[in-house]
Structure 1
Amino acid sequence: MNRFQKPSSAKPAAYNLIVGARFRELRQLVPALRFKMSVMIVMGILTGLSEMVGITLLVSLVFLLGQQGPVSGSAIAWLPAFFGGVDLSLSKPVLIGILIGSILFRIFLGCANSLIASTVNHRISDRIRDRLYAKVLTIPFQRFQDYERSDLINVIATESYAVSSAHASLVRLGVNLGTIVIFGIGMLVMAWPIALLGLAFGFIHNFALGFFAGAYRRLGVSALAAVEALTQLSWTTLQTLKAVKSFGLETRHQQLFETLSRDVGQTWRRSDRMGAATSLLSETLTFAVILTIILSSEFLPVDFKAALSATILLYRLQPHIKEFDSQILRLYEMEASLQNVLALLSEKDDIKQASRGEPISRLAEAIVFHNVSFAYERT
């Protein structure tokens, strides 16, 4: 075979099933995946929680500073209801202190999460590259002959990064989902009609972007094929450069390279266009739901302050909903590369490599061959 086994073109049964499929594949490739993902997801969710608290208290502070005369009791009227009916009496300095603390806590968690994610992703890439190179050295030579050399180079040097990228996407999915749940609970407590509108927006957003899943999947396969073709031509040219120059094929190879290079560029441009289309769709849906809230504000049984805070939370929630579906589409796009990595790592080891005999501790005498001959078989 000239290329690795590609995934079938059949459409998955459900849009979000791709998450479970990628998680099962990553568990085969990355040891202790569940623990690493759990730690990073918890840190990301705590970041979202601190952001929600900061937004809520910021709105409270704005209304507090806008009041005339002395302020007694809670900062604003609906704050005790938000905290489950507990009678809280927050002075202005305490409110400002909690607000600053939540903001600093969010900044610290965000920085720590970025550093941990970078370290984990680079470590995953390093280990996958090592495993792929070791597999090339241990598979039977007959099977090695079935692979294109350029394809092996491409999967080791380039497609191995798809494993860490898929891991990062799954972590972000968990963070986004946790943040969506936390923000949703806060909106539900503050203004349940707005929370219901946000829930409807989330379902519509997920359903609409689901139509792009097949296109992203096909784009990932075509982009991979284009890169492999370009790598194969480059490898062939470097291996046979003397022959290319001897027969005056420089112009021919240059034209082939430019054609394949344009194909690669075209696939990335298509990816950028689809990304712009999905982003436009997400922004349009966000504007539509916020416009709906504004137009129906007179009819909603919600206090203005609570409605304002819930609307701000909904606006801040939109990037998490957008990223949630975008990461799923990225998993579709990376499917072909992950299948290539799995295909190579699933090759059986050479029997000679797998069977390990007794190591020779020392050699007392020389090794001598008697009556050994060699001849080519007559055909």
Structure 2
Amino acid sequence: MGKEADTGAGGRIAALRDLNALLAIAPAAKRAAPLLVIMGLVASLAETAGISLIIVFLYAAFGQLDDTGTVARDFGQAAASILEWLGGPAELATAIFALIVMRGVIAYFYNRIAQGLGARISEKARNAIHGEYLGVSYDFIRRHEQAELMEVLGTDSWGIAAAYNAFTRLIINICATAVFAFFLFMLSWRITLIAFICAGAVSFFLERLSRPVTQLGASVKAEHQSMGGLMLMTLQGMRAIRAYGREKAQDAAFVKSSASARESLARMERLSAAIRPATEIGYLAIICLIVGGAGALKVDFHATLTIVALLYRLQPHLQEFASNSLFLAQSAPQLQSVRRMIGPEGKTYPDPGMRPMPETFRSIAFRDVVFGYEEKEALDRVSFSIPAGRTTALVGASGSGKTTIVNLLLRLYRPEAGQILLDDTDIATIRREEWLRAIAVAGQDIDLVEGTVRDNVLMARSDANRAALADAYALSGLADMLAGLEYGDRDWIGQQGLNLSGGERQRVGLARAILRDPGILILDEATSALDTALEARVRTCLEQRFAGRTVLIITHRLETVRNVDHVVRIGNGRLLAEGPPAEVFGPHADGSVAALG
């Protein structure tokens, strides 16, 4: 954090700056802020007017309307005029009651409007963050921990509503203080000056007390994020944790993180808890000082009583101001995270493309494609072709760049240099939705979501009917598995499909790809976990169904490569060979492709 964020004032400034930027996603909330301030101002006027009328009522009740003292005489004359204008004590009591009711009604509608707008802002922020996750480049998501992404979406976005309410209340507190100050000034400018000098001293003390609050807020957020990461590790890695006997170590790590989160939160709560009593003691001392000094300043009892009553009612506004100011400083790290996640800074976005996907094409060609991750270079000026309507095998050892090629075809990444061409058209210029609609991928490490078999297969085509699903189940070999499940394709498969074996997961992935009915099918070791008989049957079904279509098979098994039309062989991110299988590998009868390297 910068130097500014190290102080309470800096935290508030940063929070207000980020909140103002975030309000752009909810224009209604920004437009409503003046209305909320006006409502708060009117409520404050009603409150101060009500207190003043109560004093008038007391003047009348005790027969003090004709006091001889200068200030008292002025009060008595004003009270007599108000009483005469209203018509009598009964009307005065009615006016006081009406002001109290009006203030209550305004406060009710203010709270309803503010809470509704706050909830709307949080909703807009959540939707914006979620949309950003889906719309930003895949590389951006890959570079962030899941715990951080979940913390921003599931926790920080909710904090915007509270920050917005604190902000509007902060403005109302200022307006209320100004209204009370005006009435106090009319009663005695000397006492008002003393009161606000003392209030400034109390505020300075509170500012010093709350100075570390922004750092504590960032610490609490970091500890919660760390704990969230361990939660995800426990749930997602449960099988590995149990298989390697890591239960105690994982539990110890979580307990330690949980304790750190508790300690950070406790420090924050201790600081927050100290603010309220310090504020109350400070403003009570101011009231005592004014009562004690009223005689020296020749302020009569009645004016002093009114001033004390107004200061007493002003105290909650000053306390709320300090509380809201502190809360904004605490919220600064959360608001900054949300703003950073929503904003475009440091991000890239997939090119949506403008050209339609052609109905036919001759080939997909990589031309001098360069791509690298932060840790290493994956492809180094790779050029090869995937003929349309034929089966191509992409072969190479682990880490040779095969997965990167698939990710580039799926437009999860874009080349750092070079082009991927559909005939003479860069695929980046083709409408992304149309391009992806023409592709389906099934692999050995299939991505499954928590839900049912049906949920996962329908990701390929949500509008598919029952007949299309049954066909996909049959061709992928999934129908046999579903027959043994209690609820068939509506059986819950667990988190990321953990209730399924490797072969069952692959069959779900194959069914998903078949249901897509694509023009371009990518099979990334898609049948490696199936038994020999089932694999042969599924492979025959796939060959029949996708005959005449563009199929890319990623494999290291020589028997698979021998049956394809075209081979692309890569190693260490470079093209090693390309052509028919016999030309690429020669008369090898067994062994793996990786071994041939």
TM-score bracket, shorter-length normalisation: 0.7 to 0.9
For 1:248, the aligned partner's letter is G
Aligned residue in 1 for 2:96? 99
Contact 1:80 1:87 in 2 (8 A): no
Contact 1:122 1:164 in 2 (8 A): yes
Matches within 5 A, 1:143-158: 143-158=140-155
Residue deviations 1:53-74, cap 9 Å, x none?
11111122233223399xxxxx
1:248 aligns with 2:225: no
CA shift at 1:244, angstroms?
Answer: 1.1
2:346 counterpart of 1:327: no
Shift of 1:24: 2.9
- The structural deviation recorded for 1:115 is 0.5
Counterpart mapping for 1:142-181 below 5 A = 142-181=139-178
Q: Are residues 1:42 and 2:42 paired?
A: no
The CA deviation at 1:255 is: 2.1
Asked if the contact 2:7/2:213 (under 8 Å) is kept, the reply is no
Letter in 1 for 2:51: I
Residue 250 of structure 1, CA deviation: 1.9
Question: TM-score normalised to the size of structure 1?
Answer: 0.87
Q: Name which of structure 1's ranges 125-134 and 242-251 shifts more when overlaid on structure 2.
A: 242-251
Report the TM-score when normalising by structure 2: 0.56
Residue deviations 1:249-272 (CA, integer Å, cap 9, x gap): 222222222221122222222122
1:25 aligns with 2:18: yes
Give the corresponding residue for 2:109. Answer: 112
Alignment check: 8 A CA contact 1:194 1:311 kept? no
- Aligned-pair identity (%): 23
| Aligned pairs for 1:1-379 within 5 A | 7-8=1-2, 10-11=3-4, 16=9, 18-31=11-24, 32=27, 33-67=29-63, 78-79=74-75, 89-90=85-86, 91-347=88-344, 350-352=348-350, 354-358=351-355, 369-370=388-389, 373-375=392-394, 376=402, 377-379=570-572
How far off is 1:119 after superposition?
0.3
Q: 1:108-133 CA deviation, whole Å, 9 max, x = no partner?
A: 00100111111001100000000001
Aligned in 2, Cα 1:321/1:148: closer, same or farther, shift over 3 Å? Answer: same
Give me the whole-angstrom Cα distance separating, in 2, the residues matched to 1:349 and 1:136: 11
Q: Could you tell me which residue of structure 1 aligns to residue 436 of structure 2?
A: none
How far residue 19 of structure 1 moved from its aligned partner, in angstroms, is 4.6
Over the aligned positions, Cα root-mean-square deviation in angstroms equals 2.8
- Between the aligned partners of 1:197 and 1:330, the Cα distance in structure 2 is 28
Q: What is the deviation of 1:88?
A: 5.1
Amino acid paired to 2:102: F
Change (3 A) 1:217 1:301: same
In structure 2, the CA distance between the partners of 1:12 and 1:232, relative to structure 1 (3 Å rule), is: closer
Counterpart CA distance in 2 for 1:102 and 1:162 is 34
Q: Which has the larger radius of gyration?
A: 2
1:103 and 1:179 mapped to 2: Cα distance? 16
Mapped partners of 1:182, 1:62: distance in 2: 22
Q: 1:58 touches 1:99 (CA, 8 Å); kept in 2?
A: yes
Matched to 2:258, the amino acid is: S
Q: Deviations over 1:284-335 (max 9, x none)?
A: 2112111112222221222321211111111111121122122222222111
Q: Which residue of 1 aligns with 2:429?
A: none
Q: Name whichever structure is richer in helix by fraction.
A: 1
* Aligned-partner Cα distance in 2 for 1:182–1:121: 26
- Aligned pair in 2 of structure 1 residues 18, 223: CA closer, same or farther (>3 Å)? closer
CA distance in 2, matches of 1:373, 1:248: 43
Matched residue SS, 1:373? strand
SS of structure 1 residue aligned to 2:31: helix
Give the drift of 1:12.
5.2
Q: Whose relative contact order is higher, 1 or 2, with alpha carbons under 8 Å and at least 6 apart?
A: 1
Partner of 1:3: none
1:187–1:251 distance in 2 versus 1, CA, 3 Å? same
Q: Which moved more, 1:252-261 or 1:166-175?
A: 252-261
Task: Give 3-state SS (helix, strand or coil) of 1:336's partner.
Answer: helix
- Aligned AA (2:571): R
Conserved in 1, the CA contact under 8 Å of 2:11 and 2:330?
no
Deviations 1:211-263 (A, max 9, x none): 13431011101101110011000001111001111222222222222221122
Where does the alignment leave 5 or more consecutive residues of structure 1 unmatched? 1-6, 70-75
CA–CA separation in structure 2 for the residues paired with 1:49 and 1:373: 80
Q: In the alignment, which residue of structure 1 is the partner of 2:471?
A: none
Provide the C-alpha distance between the structure 2 equivalents of 1:249 and 1:351, rounded to a whole number of angstroms.
39
- Alpha-carbon distance in 2 for matches of 1:86, 1:122: 44
Aligned counterparts of 2:76 and 2:248: Cα–Cα separation in 1 = 77
2:503 counterpart residue number: none
- Equivalent position amino acid for 1:197 in 2: I
Residues 86 and 54 of structure 1: CA distance in aligned 2, closer, same or farther (over 3 Å): closer
Q: Which has the higher strand share?
A: 2
